[in-house]
Amino acid sequence: MPHKRTMNDRQDVLASDLWELPKVSQGLWTWACIAIETLPNEVGNLIHLRYLDLSETKLVELPETVSNLRILQTLRLNSCDKLHRLPEGLRKLLSLRHLEINYTISLNRLPQGLEGLKCLQTLSKFVVSEEGCKLRELSNLHGSLAITEIGGGSKEAGDAKLKSNKHLGILGLEFTKAEKGKIIYDASDLELFEPHPNLEELEIHYYSGSKFPSWMEFPMKQSLFMLRRLIIRECRNFEILPPLAKLESLQYLSVEALDLISPIGLFNFFEALMVVAYPNLQQLHIRGMKHWEEEAMEISRDINVMPLFQILGVY
């Protein structure tokens, strides 16, 4: 009967067998869902590695020898909830395209020098901190970017330069949570994160200000014409929603825990010449909205509302 390896056996593999694999097999390595806490320095010997998945492990940190993996293209560390630092030599991975660090709750900074990673397309999470990598260093980022731990009046935000990044398709903004009912942000905090009009997906979480920034008024000359997906979550002090009805490309809208917003808020700022509201919206998801059972939505004039609507979710 084949011997079933124990957790200790698996740790031994990490310490020995793994690093003797033939070079032909070194292009892809996945070691997920294993309770490993350390990665041996010998990982740096896998110089032909292009894909490394260490998601859902119990790693606290990665050895600096990871910076030897010069042709590594994808590094996945999702749900490594004990991971608190990345190697300072990460800037040497010039072939890196995708750095996935979702749900790394202990990670409180990114190493400096990431602006040198010209191939980097996806950074699933950027942690705002006084030390470490700065937002201005990532002005050439392609693909997606999630910015977390945003504090009120952050000087860091002023260096973001997101508006000039035409290659950024997905943006997530997660502010630090405020006490219920307390306002620690104002519109100027969101103003600093104005994206390029090419943006296709936007998420805003935990913003405690009462008003949205001017770029979310979607003026015709600089509107987010490409925006297809919008999620606004737990912005409990928002008094009024932006004029979402005139977003021509919007297909998916989710609003959650906006305590002061009523149903009619979806139809604010109708313009005199508007004949169609939400012309391409297909999905609307409503979660934890306090006032949505208290009044019915009524449109005061003849207007075509959501002509392509397919899915409604109320939770």
pLDDT given for residue 243 in this prediction? 84
Task: Evaluate whether residue 268 is within a structural domain.
Answer: yes
Task: Evaluate whether residue 9 is within a structural domain.
Answer: no
* CATH number of the domain residue 38 falls in: 3.80.10.10
Task: Evaluate whether residue 51 is within a structural domain.
Answer: yes
Task: Evaluate whether residue 297 is within a structural domain.
Answer: yes
Lowest-confidence region among 13-27, 88-102, 229-243, 278-292: 13-27
Confidence band, pLDDT 50/70/90 cuts, at residue 80 = very high
Q: Could you read off the pLDDT of 200-221 as tens digits, one per residue?
A: 999 999 988 888 888 887 765 5
- Rounded to an integer, what distance in angstroms lies between the CA atom of residue 97 and that of residue 112? 17
- Rounded to an integer, what distance in angstroms lies between the CA atom of residue 185 and that of residue 294? 29
Task: Evaluate whether residue 4 is within a structural domain.
Answer: no
Find the angle CA(216)-CA(217)-CA(221) to the nearest 5 degrees. Answer: 100
Task: Evaluate whether residue 10 is within a structural domain.
Answer: no
Residue that wins the pLDDT comparison between 268 and 68: 68
Average pLDDT, the chain: 79
Residue 246: pLDDT above 70?
yes
Model's pTM, two decimal places? 0.80
- Rounded to an integer, what distance in angstroms lies between the CA atom of residue 128 and that of residue 272? 42
Task: Evaluate whether residue 19 is within a structural domain.
Answer: no
Residue 175: pLDDT above 60?
yes
How is residue 216 written in tokens?
């979310």
- Ramachandran quadrant class, 115 (left: phi over 0; alpha: psi -120 to 50; beta: rest): alpha
- How many domains are there within the chain? 1
Task: Evaluate whether residue 244 is within a structural domain.
Answer: yes
Structural domain range at position 195: 25-314
Query: What percent of the chain stands above pLDDT 70?
Result: 74
